[in-house]
Amino acid sequence: MDPLTIIVIVAGLILSGIVTFIDDAFEKMLNPIFRLVGLKSSTGPLDIIAKNNDRFIELTITNNGKGKAMLAAIQVLGKDGQKKYPLPCTSEIEAKGEFAEKKEKELRKYFLSEKINPGSQKIVYLNSAKLDGCNLNSLSVLDMDAKHWSVTIE
């Protein structure tokens, strides 16, 4: 390959990376404004079903909306009514174990970054031991718009 071809390929890759970055930046800036005016629908409705096992709780989150669902956190009320945010795990094995703080941050970032397509579902696992004394009827999922979605317990 001659040097001109290599330069054109590298320039094309750099240009496509810049365009992708700018597109994401504008989307993040303008989406809240579009939602206020009604041009972009918000997340939801979400159906969330919890199955309580001995060592973990399995949450099945189904997106019944028209757009991608972006989740922020899982919330539950403790004994004293204080809000707690349990660690969302991606597997049963993770939910049964203990984690270092760095691994917890990685799991939370992964939960935030993953979007649920319309008609799709996501399964999240919570450690039952960490929820001892919490009111499981208050279990809810928060989306990026700070909207609470209640959980149906089976």
Residue 33 and residue 50 in one domain? no
Residue 70 and residue 84 in one domain? yes
Query: What pLDDT, on a 0 to 100 scale, did the predictor assign at position 41?
Result: 56
- Model pTM? 0.70
Measured between alpha carbons, how far is 147 from 133 in angstroms, rounded to an integer? 25
Residue 35 and residue 70 in one domain? no
- Is the CB of residue 74 less than 8 Å from the CB of residue 88? yes
Residue 82 and residue 129 in one domain? yes
Q: Which whole-number Å values give the CA distances from 107 to 25, 85, 123, 144, in the listed order?
A: 24, 13, 14, 17
More confident residue, 91 or 11: 11
Q: Are strands 121-127 and 135-143 parallel, antiparallel or unpaired?
A: unpaired
- Does 74 have pLDDT greater than 60? yes
Average pLDDT, the chain: 86
Residue 26 and residue 60 in one domain? no
Q: What percent of the chain has pLDDT over 90?
A: 37
Number of domains in the chain: 2
More confident residue, 73 or 79: 73
Domain that holds residue 135: 46-153
| 100 confidence band (pLDDT: 50, 70, 90) | confident
Residue 124 and residue 53 in one domain? yes
Residue 89 and residue 104 in one domain? yes
On the question of a cis peptide bond just before residue 86, with omega within 30 degrees of 0, the verdict is no
pLDDT of 6-35, one tens digit each?
A: 999 999 999 999 999 998 888 778 877 776
- Is the CB of residue 147 less than 8 Å from the CB of residue 113? no
pLDDT of 36-66, one tens digit each?
A: 666 665 577 899 999 988 888 999 999 998 8
Tell me which residue of 149, 154, 153 sits closest to 46, measured CA to CA: 149
User: Please, what is the Cα angle at 110 between 109 and 116, to 5 degrees?
Assistant: 125
Residue 143 and residue 126 in one domain? yes
